[in-house]
Amino acid sequence: MDGARVSQAQLDYAYASCRAVARGAAKNFYYAFLALPKEKRNALCAVYAFMRHADDISDDQKLAASERAEKLNEWLQQAMRSFAGGPTDDAVLLALSDAQQRFKIPTELFEKLVLGTAMDVQETTAPGGPRTNIGYATFDDLYRYCYHVASVVGLVCIHIFGYRDAKAERLAERCGIAFQLTNILRDVKEDALMGRTYLPQEDMVRFGVSPQLFSAAELRNGFDAGKARPLLEFEALRAREFYRSGRELISLVDRESRPALWALVEIYSRLLEKIVSRDYDVFSERVRVSTAEKLSILARAWLRRLVA
């Protein structure tokens, strides 16, 4: 498709495809999206669909790391050509290009996003052992990862939400860190079974936790969750500090976008508090914010929008 000759019907179809992806996969984000005006909601769904495809590539265990890295680069290059006005038959890229132009989203943010996703395919092979991912030695190392996969998303979002005060950029960065730390805590077991341990090694040392504790063999055979509890509590306290920035950010985005951002922060911070209330047991079952809770939050967000 030539970007200069795209019909409204084609755009409508492209955005509908992105909404379907977000509705099916964005279990937390999608509810917050619904509190936005249609144009902004569509743009965020396009961004999410682009990210979802990149994540799916990085998580494809059937492909070697080099193949996944190649496919990620190809996905990015297709997007960059589309941003430049080149033709595309991909519905996600068609919608994303329209959103990028409409909301003047810097294209380098998408480069950073894919770079972050590619960090999940940096793998090594242990002598005589299974293929494992490189971990993070320090929190600064983990912060750089979180910045690329989550803070950059926050920076994209505020371009769609609308903002005037440059302070919003730093707050969006820190809000993204809060969300990603929450995801890391929730997904400790799931990630470990894929050979990924995001918890900083310096924190493990501080709390006397061996990386072997999160090995697939340990998790499948009599795992002692109590050994990990002090470490997870420390990371949760760290995440809480970053959530303060998310709450400060709300007043800096355009008024019509504030209810959606409030809902997003509320859903994710509630997820963190559920982890805390379960005494950091993220191993016996996946911790979730229920659909009923998310609908309640959405209703409150809509009320905020109506009275704004």
Backbone angles phi, psi at 124, to 5 degrees: -125, 160
As given in the structure block, the two tokens for residue 188 are 């400790």
What is the torsional sign of CA 135, 242, 288, 306?
A: negative
Residue 131's φ and ψ, nearest 5 degrees, are -70, 130
Residues of the chain with pLDDT under 50: 1-3, 124-132
How far is residue 177's CA from residue 181's CA, in Å, rounded to a whole number?
6
- Give the pLDDT of residue 125: 40
pLDDT for position 307: 65
Residue 147 is given by DSSP the state I
Pick among 1.10.600.10, 3.90.400.10, 3.30.70.560, 1.10.10.10: CATH of 1-105 = 1.10.600.10
How far apart, in Å, are the Cα atoms of 288 and each of 10, 120, 161, 176, 291?
36, 23, 26, 19, 9
CB 125 within 8 A of CB 131: yes
Question: For residue 152, how many other CB atoms are within 10 A of its CB?
Answer: 24
C-beta separation of 265 from 242 below 8 A: no
**Is the pTM of the predicted complex or chain greater than 0.95?**
no
Q: Of the candidates 256, 29, 28, 41, which has an alpha carbon nearest to the alpha carbon of residue 163?
A: 256
Instruction: Say if residue 15 is exposed, middle or buried (CB neighbours under 10 Å; 0-12, 13-18, 19+).
Output: buried
Q: Into which CATH architecture does domain 122-308 fall?
A: Orthogonal Bundle (1.10)
How high is the pLDDT of residue 308? 57
Domain boundaries, the chain: 1-105, 122-308
Q: Say if residue 11 is exposed, middle or buried (CB neighbours under 10 Å; 0-12, 13-18, 19+).
A: middle
Topology match between the domains 1-105 and 122-308: yes
* Helices first, then strands: H and E counts in the chain: 15, 2
